[in-house]
Structure 1
Amino acid sequence: MGSPSGPPFDPDDPDRERRDRDTEPIPRVRPDDIPGPGPGPGFADGPPFSDDAGYGDGPFGGQARSGRAWVRDPEADYQPPQISEEELAGLRVDASGMPLGPRRVLPLEDEPSSLVARYLFPTERYRGEWKRHWIHLTTPILVGIGATFVLGYLSGFLAGRDVGALTTVAVLLWFAVMGWVAWKVADWWYDRFILTNKRVMVVNGIVTRKVAMMPLARVTDMKYEQSPTGRALNYGTFVLESAGQDQALREIKNLPNPNELYLRVVEEMYEPQAVEARLGKEADEAKADDGA
């Protein structure tokens, strides 16, 4: 008996088995039966299906004969950026617009020292003063230590030879060297780098005082340099460039905390309102503490 649309049925037909195998219906594949990265045994929790795409677009390369292709939804893989609390602290501000996070610039001094106050005029606002790093005294200290050992040994040697005049000369020479060391230490103590809201200054000298200054408005470029030793001991050299040709203040060596000082100068040049807001807030907090 034959099929209404095909040839008559022939049990001896050698191609019958092949035709029956080729005409078998394609089984439907459920998403739950396909393994995937989902939490369950199937792929029900995996990426969504799409009926608009053709075969071969999914992760199985067209081998899964399902009428629905695998298409990954971009929004399904989206993860919001992870921001730590420390990073968020730098973005939070108070009512005055000042950051609530950790302070990058140390608090400013309230009043200048008597050494510096004489060089400030009434309308400018004091921002800080710094002595040079103690590394500035390396040469005098090494000379003093070396002279003590050498001249001390020489004095003892000459005293044993009963040469009193030469012993006296060695002792006087040692006093002269130590006086020079003391002079260098005093000169270091009176040497100050000063910052105001209008200019930077360097004041030095004991007998002959020298005052060099540069207006902040004329500073066109500023940088600081740190050698490996400077990075280890936290000091550096500042270089200021000005629009003028002759500069009374260009290179300042051996300044302590160069990064802190750099932030202060740059903030004073480009964000003076932020400095004023911070100073006003600190003054209010100080008054509140005094009142409490």
Structure 2
Amino acid sequence: MGNPSGPPFDPDDPDRARRERDTEPIPRIDPDDPPSAYGPGPYGGDPDDAGYGGAYAGEGRSSRAWARDPDGFPDQPISEDELAGLRSDATGMAPRRVLPLEDEPSSLVARYLFPTERYRGEWKRHWIHLTTPIIVGVAATFVLGYLSGFLAGRDVGALTTVAVLLWFGVMGWVAWRVADWWYDRFILTNKRVMVVAGIITRQVAMMPLTRVTDMKYEQSPTGRALNYGTFVLESAGQEQALRVIKNLPNPNELYLRVVEEMYEPQAVEARLGKEADEAKADDGA
């Protein structure tokens, strides 16, 4: 009997096979079933196949790793070529990555991280941040040293003592600024950016990566020559505890690291996981 809602059935219709193929239902894939349950092809478990079958096993002959979402379903594939460009030891035209100061957070930073937060790195500000105290310290040494020698030749011991004490005061201020620079850290995790500063009065500012709506860095001619810059973070909120961060080293590489963490977190996890596996393999060898 023909189909009342369509054209009559014609066994000699040359387009009948094509229509039946186009309307063939797409098989549903249960992630709990073994790949071999679907047979060969793009949905099956043929190890020679470069489709989904090899991907469900983790990594097939296609050399493609799959990033998974929390529910276990495959997300977008990450190829070996993409992973090679993300490795810190990549050569050629791949961008050079900024390495953390340590593999694990320092004691100064660890106290501000919660257990489920993944540490990505911490950086001190560029040494240009110490330009003013260094210039003041050098100038004070020459000026007060000359003044002390001049006063000592005129038998005015009291003024000489004042000049020496003044020099100690200036050098104490310089040492304080250097220590403050040492404890000032920019921190990146998989959830936020932070700045920890201060020796006696500690200041901790942070911004979640999900709240960052815009980010840029600026470099003056001197900054381009010495490789430092100023980061500006924009957020949806009006009041921001962390917006302008001055004198950060390697701004281009640091910018790429933050943007990668914001937009390609699966790629970061895949790269770090592969580097950890390679390190274990080297230790075992």
TM-score (norm 2): 0.68
Q: How far did 1:114 drift?
A: 1.0
Deviations 1:94-136 (A, max 9, x none): 5332423534234555211111111100011000000000000
Q: How far, CA to CA, are the matches of 1:107 and 1:158 in structure 2?
A: 52
Give unpaired runs (5+ residues) of structure 1: 1-92
State whether structure 2 residue 88 is matched by structure 1 residue 95. no
What does residue 133 of structure 2 align with?
A: 140
Secondary structure in structure 2 of the residue aligned to 1:261? helix
What does residue 153 of structure 1 align with?
A: 146
Secondary structure in structure 1 of the residue aligned to 2:253? helix
Q: How far, CA to CA, are the matches of 1:286 and 1:145 in structure 2?
A: 46
State whether structure 2 residue 216 is matched by structure 1 residue 223. yes
State whether structure 2 residue 242 is matched by structure 1 residue 273. no
What does residue 60 of structure 1 align with?
A: none
Secondary structure in structure 1 of the residue aligned to 2:248? strand
Describe the shift of the 1:107–1:191 C-alpha distance in structure 2 as closer, same or farther (beyond 3 A).
closer
Secondary structure in structure 2 of the residue aligned to 1:171? helix
Describe the shift of the 1:222–1:94 C-alpha distance in structure 2 as closer, same or farther (beyond 3 A).
farther
What does residue 197 of structure 1 align with?
A: 190
Q: How far, CA to CA, are the matches of 1:207 and 1:244 in structure 2?
A: 30
Aligned match for 2:226, one of 225, 228, 233: 233
2:98–2:250: 8 Å Cα contact kept in structure 1? no
Secondary structure in structure 2 of the residue aligned to 1:121? coil
Which letter maps to 1:147?
Answer: A
2:105–2:122: 8 Å Cα contact kept in structure 1? yes
Secondary structure in structure 2 of the residue aligned to 1:266? helix
Q: How far did 1:185 drift?
A: 0.2
Deviations 1:205-239 (A, max 9, x none): 00111000000000000000000000000000000
With CA pairs under 8 Å and 6+ residues apart, which has the higher RCO, 1 or 2?
2
Which letter maps to 2:199?
Answer: I
What does residue 29 of structure 1 align with?
A: none
Give unpaired runs (5+ residues) of structure 2: 1-61, 66-78, 86-90
2:99–2:121: 8 Å Cα contact kept in structure 1? no
State whether structure 2 residue 237 is matched by structure 1 residue 244. yes
Which is greater in Rg?
1
Higher mean Cα deviation, 198-207 or 103-112?
Answer: 103-112
TM-score (norm 1): 0.67
Q: How far did 1:150 drift?
A: 0.4
Aligned match for 2:281, one of 254, 266, 288: 288
Aligned match for 1:125, one of 118, 121, 126: 118
Query: What CA RMSD, in Å, does the superposition of the two structures yield over aligned residues?
Result: 1.4
Structure 1 moving runs of 4+ over 6 Å: none
Secondary structure in structure 2 of the residue aligned to 1:249? coil
2:98–2:254: 8 Å Cα contact kept in structure 1? no
The count of corresponding residues between Structure 1 and Structure 2 is 200
State whether structure 2 residue 255 is matched by structure 1 residue 262. yes
